[in-house]
Structure 1
Amino acid sequence: MRHGWLMVREGMYTVGLQYTRRDLYELLDVPKAEQGGDWLNGYHRHRNDYYVFCNVGMPGRTGHDYPNRWDGEKLIWHGKNRSNFEQQAIRNLVSGDYRVFVFYRDEDRAPFTFAGIGHAVPHRDSEFPVRIDWVFGSDEIAGAPVFTDEYAVGAQYTEGQRVQVLVNRYERDRNAREKCIRHHGVICCVCGFDFGERFGELGRGFIHVHHIVPVSEIGESYEVDPIKDLIPLCPNCHAMIHRRNPPLSVDELKVLM
């Protein structure tokens, strides 16, 4: 299991951390005789939960290349070849009666990253295979929140009121954030703070991701380089960088420390 981009516990799994199927067998105490099978075929029912495994941006080992992709924080997903909404497994996935643990990967033979417990938005006008959009983090499907840890200059927040945070698509690109973490790790690049070392399991994998180029300056044609444009910072250093507008550079903040 490896570090991910955000430390949120959903059941026994952590959003953003990576798991192999063997990890899941051990965590769930799956008997040897029940391993494999549907666990390897995209979606599997285990007791009263479902487990969805998908490739994003690449074909599967069977040669099928479904257009699975991230659209902001929404995962656009397609079922097995010739799947339809009359099939019992698909009906169960969209019923809301089961927890659906969604895992994805964008590299062949890599472990799967846990996306979270998915809420299904079915596209019943789709033919074969079925299309379901998975949203995460809210029971309010249409208004599922977008997680952001980038500071908005001049933002105002009122305690006790719901706040709508508007961010552009670059900031909520989950793949870019994950690639940043893979390259730079989860230790603050200014002060060296490691949440996992300090807080153990609770802090493992937690870190903010800072845009070196301010989000407000990114144009529609700009493509974020996860390694050059994003950098992991602890919340304290992240807040200090944004105490000035335009923000301090990482090197400037290091000098202040």
Structure 2
Amino acid sequence: MNLLKQVLELGIGAGIEVKLDRAGLRTGLRAHFSDLEPNNGPIVTVRPSGLRRHLVLLKFGDFSTPCIRQMQAANYEQQATARGLLKQIARSHDLRINPGYGLDDWVVSGGDFNIEVTVRNVDEHDSANAVADTAKTIMVPLMAAMAELIGYDEWTDKVPDIEGEVTETLIRKRERSRRNRYLCLSIHGNKCAACGFSPLEAFGESGNIIEVHHLEPVSLLEMPRQYDPVSDLIPLCPNCHRLIHTRKPVPFSPDELKELLVDARS
């Protein structure tokens, strides 16, 4: 349970509470944001359903009106990122947004708003490991979408090299958002767009060191703008990412980087 909590928090960028859910005929998992009581915000459950299926349900508690109002005030960037996260789920799984919304126009309209995801062909679907795997793959983008609309600043625990002191540091870096990183890698994959190297295949999850490159550098923006993970972000391995930024202030383009790599090999 603690490991799943860590995985969710790492992917979502907000504090999460995870508990067993024995409310139905089959035991599942329930997650909510740790600074909200379950009745005051979104709740996500995952449980076995039928034969070889998991059902993931996001709904709101009975006293979620203040949270919902805050989500309804989300700006264009937050809405676009949240919708993009749900689209990535819908690429591989059956996703339904109630009452009657499409992937491009949904909003958290009120307490009756909910999202259902059906995961099919799950081996040993009643096992705790299978339920935990679905929680990792579906809960992360689902709750990340809600976190984006609520407006959670992404956080991380950092251990500074000062007398061994441990502090929790809040960071506000929307342009470096791990939620946009998740979207970029979901769309483009974990393979370097320049040299083709895949750290995930080479080293496994522990060595998944792929980086996300902004085709228009954040440092050159005159005004903040929404980055489209489809056309504005690409995955690069650390070597290529460092190489592409050796030209300043405007980095090499991906095509120029590929030419550099070809010349270096010839």
Higher relative contact order (CA 8 A, sep 6+): 1
Higher helix proportion (structure 1 or 2): 2
State the TM-score, normalizing by the size of structure 2.
0.45
